[in-house]
Amino acid sequence: MLLAAGIGSRMRPLSDRLPKPLMRVHGKPLLQYHLENLAQAGYTEIIINHSRMGWMIEEFCGDGGQFGVHIRYSPEGEQPLETGGGILQAMHLLGDEPFVAISADLFTDYDFSLLHGKSVDLAYLVLVDNPVDYPGGDFCLQESQLCKDRGRRLTYGNIGILRPELFQGCTQSSFPLGPLLHQAVASMRVQGEYFSGGWVNVGSPEQLAQLNRGS
């Protein structure tokens, strides 16, 4: 599932006329990078949620055939359901097995094929170095086990595998994913890995411009 329903408030004024996942780096929309990389990694069934101006995402991606995948959509209307609520609404499309969840506004060279065959209790998360604007991080990593406070804190890179059971007891509403992950980590039911490669959570016009100035 590609999470593409955010409003992109920090990206204004650019996000007033274009969904953030369609903003371009080196001439290509962020969303297109994900679709191509997922297809190359062997993923063919993609769910994309969207909210405001979501029709533009559907118009650009179509059924996914041009990227070698098959896309289904989970529209949320003008007000997004946040990460947790958006995933829960799309659960009827995702099915009963673990699924990969990725924020569509990332720019990364992470190899999604590395997620194949991972052992997942409730979740498996990819952790990255803490961005400048988020120095406190989220979790620590002890070998492959995520924990709260044993070791160097890292940031959840918005790439991971989730089990539907993570959402057990949740009711359809607007809610973030973060508290569910923190609860699962506290129960020692989340595994993960550290990724030191290219990763940017594109959140502002300045970040977008910096990426486009790079090679």
* Domain locations in the chain as residue ranges: 2-213
**What is the structure's pLDDT at 215?**
54
**What is the structure's pLDDT at 151?**
82
**What is the structure's pLDDT at 11?**
74
C-alpha to C-alpha distance for 154 and 140, rounded to whole angstroms: 6
**What is the structure's pLDDT at 6?**
84
Contact 177, 185 (CB under 8 A): no
Contact 51, 57 (CB under 8 A): no
Point out the residues of the chain with pLDDT beneath 70: 15, 215
- Specify the amino acid at residue 167: F
CATH architecture assignment, domain 2-213: Alpha-Beta Complex (3.90)
Contacts of 117 (CB under 8 A, 6+ apart): none
How many residues are present in the chain? Answer: 215
Question: Residue 127 belongs to what H/E stretch?
Answer: strand 123-128
**What is the structure's pLDDT at 98?**
97
**Angle at which helices 30-40 and 54-61 pack, to 10 degrees?**
40
- In whole angstroms, how far apart are CA 101 and each of 18, 104, 105, 173, 209? 22, 9, 12, 19, 26
**What is the structure's pLDDT at 154?**
97
